């Protein structure tokens, strides 16, 4: 694969219609591959992976400065996938942007592979091990404080689940980011409304979610998390916010794209069998 460098220069380009069409095609491909890798492994987390596809594409394709051929590049933007169970979307994304050969995806969740069930730093492009929910934002704060101390201009992103942000540690981190005026932090909540055991609003209601973040001192933006125009506009907007952290609340659908998975908690952590895979792939054609 040709080496691609995603830099500031690229971000300054106005994104054209044809590019958006390419992003949409990429989203379909990623959904197919998420289903294929979980099917081949016989396990994994498709629901919260399918909801986060456009979020990750908008970050890796449009927003972040990063070099897939040099994952440790000092000035890269950092992304922590705090909902660390969504390895299917994380690894499919990293492979497609050239962090490691796509061939490796065949080993997903197999003993001799680096691609295990939760996000791990052994994998090129992964910044931090996650899986125990609720820790990513604190780590992102630390990285962002470090950047300020070193007078570096890179930004740190944190993708969290809506079930995950019921953790108290998230709100402790939210307070810290505002206290330290971390305008180089951007949290993204994949607000797919369903957690492991059922609807988020029945288990522990998050509403009014944007107001909560604002009351903690954050700049909050709400978007449809499957709409590239809205995601890109939000990612542009964060550059204009000074002295406070930003959160993008991305309204999404768990299991997005597959009719029998959408909104179903049963697909949180279960792989499609061969028949279900065939049906799902047909829907995506």
Ligand X SMILES: Cc1ncc(C[n+]2csc(CCOP(=O)(O)OP(=O)(O)O)c2C)c(N)n1
Alpha-carbon distance 179 to 261, whole Å?
40
Q: Which is nearer to ligand X, 76 or 109 (CB)?
A: 109
Q: Do the Cβ atoms of 83 and 160 come closer than 8 Å? A: yes
Closer residue to ligand X in complex, CB, 58/86: 86
Instruction: State the CB neighbour count (10 A cutoff) for residue 150.
Output: 10
Q: Do 190 and 48 form a contact (C-beta atoms < 8 A)? A: yes
Residue 68 or 161 with smaller CB distance to ligand X: 161
Nearer to ligand X, 70 or 172 (CB): 172
Query: How many C-alpha atoms does 257 have within 13 Å on its Cβ side?
Result: 28
* Pick 124 or 269: Cβ nearer ligand X: 269
Structure tokens of 272? 């499609």
User: How large is the angle between the packed helices 136-149 and 168-179, nearest 10 degrees?
Assistant: 20
Minimum Å gap between C-beta 81 and ligand X is: 10
Residue 133 Cβ, how far from ligand X at the closest point, in Å? 4
Q: Considering the complex, what minimum distance in angstroms separates the CB of residue 41 from ligand X?
A: 17
Q: How far is the CB of 169 from ligand X (least distance, A)?
A: 9
Half-sphere exposure of 89 (CA within 13 A, CB side): 30
CB of 191 to ligand X, least distance (A): 8
Name the residues that contact ligand X, by CB under 6 A: 45, 47-48, 51, 83, 85-86, 131-134, 161-164, 190, 192, 194-196, 254, 268
Residues in the chain: 285
The least CB distance from residue 82 to ligand X, in Å, is 9
CB-wise, 134 or 257, nearer to ligand X?
A: 134
**Contact predicate 264/255, CB 8 Å:** yes
Would you state the torsion angle of the CA atoms of residues 75, 134, 233, 238, taken in this order, to the nearest 10 degrees? -60
Residue 94 to residue 47: CA distance in whole angstroms: 18
Please report how close the Cβ of residue 47 comes to ligand X at its closest, in angstroms.
6
Element (H, E) at 249: strand 246-251
Q: Pick between residue 162 and residue 183 the one whose CB is nearest to ligand X.
A: 162
The alpha carbon dihedral of 226, 231, 232, 233 has a sign of positive
Q: What's the token pair of residue 64? A: 């972040």
What are 223's strand-pairing partners?
A: 250
């Amino acid at each position: 694969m040709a080496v691609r460098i995603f830099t500031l220069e690229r971000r300054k380009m106005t994104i054209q219609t044809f590019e958006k069409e390419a992003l949409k095609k990429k989203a379909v491909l990623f959904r197919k591959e998420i289903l294929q890798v979980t099917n081949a492994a016989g396990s994994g987390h498709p629901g919260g992976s399918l909801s986060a596809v456009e979020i990750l594409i908008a970050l890796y394709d449009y927003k972040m400065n990063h070099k897939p051929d040099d994952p440790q590049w000092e000035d890269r933007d950092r992304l922590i996938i705090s909902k660390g169970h969504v390895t299917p979307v994380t690894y499919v994304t990293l492979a497609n942007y050239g962090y490691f050969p796509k061939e490796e995806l065949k080993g997903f969740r197999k003993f001799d592979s680096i691609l295990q069930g939760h996000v791990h730093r052994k994998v090129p492009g992964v910044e931090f091990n996650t899986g125990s929910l609720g820790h990513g934002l604190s780590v992102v704060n630390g990285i962002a404080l470090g950047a300020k101390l070193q007078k570096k201009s890179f930004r740190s992103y944190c993708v969290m689940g809506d079930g995950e942000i019921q953790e108290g540690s998230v709100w402790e981190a939210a307070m810290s980011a505002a206290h330290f005026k971390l305008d180089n932090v951007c949290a993204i909540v994949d607000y797919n409304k369903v957690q492991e055991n059922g609807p988020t609003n029945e288990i522990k209601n998050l509403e009014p979610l944007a107001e909560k973040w604002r009351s903690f001192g954050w700049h909050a933006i709400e978007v449809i998390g499957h709409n590239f125009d809205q995601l890109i506009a939000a990612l542009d907007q964060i550059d204009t916010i000074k002295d406070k952290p930003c959160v993008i609340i991305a309204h999404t659908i768990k299991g997005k794209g597959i009719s029998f998975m959408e909104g179903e908690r049963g697909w949180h952590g279960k792989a499609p069998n061969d028949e279900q895979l065939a049906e799902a792939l047909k829907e995506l054609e």
